[in-house]
Structure 1
Amino acid sequence: MQSWVDGQPASALASLKDRGLAYGDGLFETIAVKAGTPLLLELHLQRLAQGCSRLAIVADQALIRSELLAYAQAMGEGVLKLILTRGDSQRGYGISPGAMPRRILQASPAAAWPEANALSGIRLFDCTTRLAEQPLLAGLKHLNRLEQVIARSEWQDPACAEGLMRDTSGRVIEGVFSNLFIVRDGVLLTADLRRCGVAGVMRAALLAEAGRLGLPCHVTDISLAQLQQADEVFLCNSVYGIWPVSAFTDVSWSVGPLTRKLQGIARTLLDV
């Protein structure tokens, strides 16, 4: 399906003056689409609006919603990517007062992940690339993804489906394209993302579901030792749901009951 730029079919995705191209000045959302419906749409739009507020990008949120719905309806099935940039500017970091945000919508086929990833779990690669601590950008799905690009280039072994990323202080933060949870003594733990990392939409949904079900859950700092001593470990994102982690370095885990319970919830959230 052809991409849209500012609501119109277009072959060129951006101008050469676009600040998203020049500086990574913008945000993006990756949204699963089924039967013409963008899944977890409200959470995606909430995160986008929060990012716009933090970066002072003045965007028409109602227009973005209507275009997302129309584009998803037209594509039917697959993965929809929204890129929102600050728009065009002249040379230099300064923001042009009259810059109009640019909206880019792209469609991709549904991801074909091995079924074993969800059933028996995945091996997690230990990335050496560290996430820089920057509270001003922490949590945002901004366009500056070079840390993830470099981290993903560290392994080619298909036996590892994801990589673990820590911050410069050594705290466990997330996967390269996923958020991470651990279970210890029946308590669900996920990383505090106030310094760095991406506040994933599926992470937010699972935290809300855990609260609704009365499951003990904490957002906190997680050390490498805590990860290695966990009873259960799993990864999540808004496209594949939940993957149990079965192995990391020389540690291995069985797929635990809480992981299976939440996996069922995630599967429901990604259905229509």
Structure 2
Amino acid sequence: MWVNGEMRDSIEARDRAVQFGDGCFTTARVHQGRVQRIEAHLKRLQQACERLKIDGVDWRRLENEMSFAATTRSDGVLKVILTRGSGGRGYSATGCAAPARIMSISDYPAHYHSLRQTGVRLALSSVRLGKNPQLAGIKHLNRLEQVLIRTELEQTGADEALVLDSDALLVECCAANLFWRTGNQVFTPDLSASGVNGIQRQWVMQQVVQSGFTLKEVRVGIDALAAAEEVLITNALMPVLPVYQAESWHYSSRQLFALLCHHNE
């Protein structure tokens, strides 16, 4: 692990990431010693910092540190955290030191390879996401909802969770975005009030439109999946996985999945 460019595994107890979850992060695939879509990951962090009003990040240094970290692992996962730093009194950020950069690299999740063949099963989570348009879309450090979702998911035999918001509308999975297809129409939940607008989600949306499908961001309940011919989930590591079952509904088509896999090669 690296903290502000130095190899160590600790940060100050006064860091606002510890005190308030005051920061953001991104998780990137490392392949052949390089960060995949590094520009998109940097843009994601920049947008999150703008939303959180975190200033003073040395973006060139961060990019160099990310690239160096990737050289230490041929195939893996790079997690990059930016915090507001240490200082301030209470919730006030006045007097904070420079933002802190925390970086770690780990093994690539091997089970994603097998899930591309078998597909995944989704189970509905009882944990609902709160609605907050000011924070919606970004990957901030307040992830307690996802911790609860994952804890519940681990008590089931499912691979991922279907997550609704407080109005019982589809949002995403625990650690992935959601798409479904009916005929020539592809749908994905509207994330204007909650959820994470993943880098792979953005890529899939572009590919769908360019391939001649109709794409709609929708605010619908889980019953929308009953009429779907195909369901898939995405994140920067998967990067696309087919769904064979969501609750009691089963899916066998992989038309969109095959198309996206071809474009992702």
With normalisation by structure 1, the TM-score equals 0.92
The residue aligned with 2:261 is 263
Per-residue deviation, 1:91: 4.1
Mean CA deviation greater in 178-187 or 203-212 = 203-212
1:40 to 37, 41, 64: 37
Contact kept in structure 1, 2:85 and 2:96, CA below 8 Å: no
Rounded Cα–Cα distance in structure 1 between residues aligned with 2:95 and 2:88 = 11
Per-residue displacement from partner, 1:152-178 (whole Å, max 9, x unpaired)? 111335631100101001110100000
Identity %: 33
Mean CA deviation greater in 92-101 or 78-87 = 92-101
Structure number with greater CO (CA < 8 Å, separation at least 6) is 1
Per-residue displacement from partner, 1:126-157 (whole Å, max 9, x unpaired)? 10100100000000100000001001111335
What is the aligned length? 264
Per-residue deviation, 1:265: 2.6
Rounded Cα–Cα distance in structure 1 between residues aligned with 2:9 and 2:140 = 24
The residue aligned with 2:66 is 68
Rounded Cα–Cα distance in structure 2 between residues aligned with 1:204 and 1:21 = 30
Secondary structure of the structure 2 residue equivalent to 1:258 = helix
2:51 to 40, 51, 54: 54
Please list every run of at least 4 consecutive aligned residues from structure 1 whose deviation after the TM superposition is greater than 4 angstroms.
Answer: none
1:108 to 87, 106, 109: 106
2:139 to 138, 141, 144: 141
Per-residue deviation, 1:179: 0.2
The residue aligned with 1:232 is 230
Q: Aligned in 2, Cα 1:134/1:203: closer, same or farther, shift over 3 Å? A: same
Secondary structure of the structure 2 residue equivalent to 1:51 = helix
Q: Which amino acid aligns with 1:88?
A: S
Per-residue displacement from partner, 1:167-206 (whole Å, max 9, x unpaired)? 0011101000000001012211111111000000110111
Contact kept in structure 2, 1:121 and 1:255, CA below 8 Å: no
Per-residue deviation, 1:67: 1.2
Structure 2 unaligned regions, length at least 5: none
Aligned-residue RMSD, C-alpha: 1.5
Per-residue deviation, 1:94: 0.5
2:148 to 147, 150, 156: 150
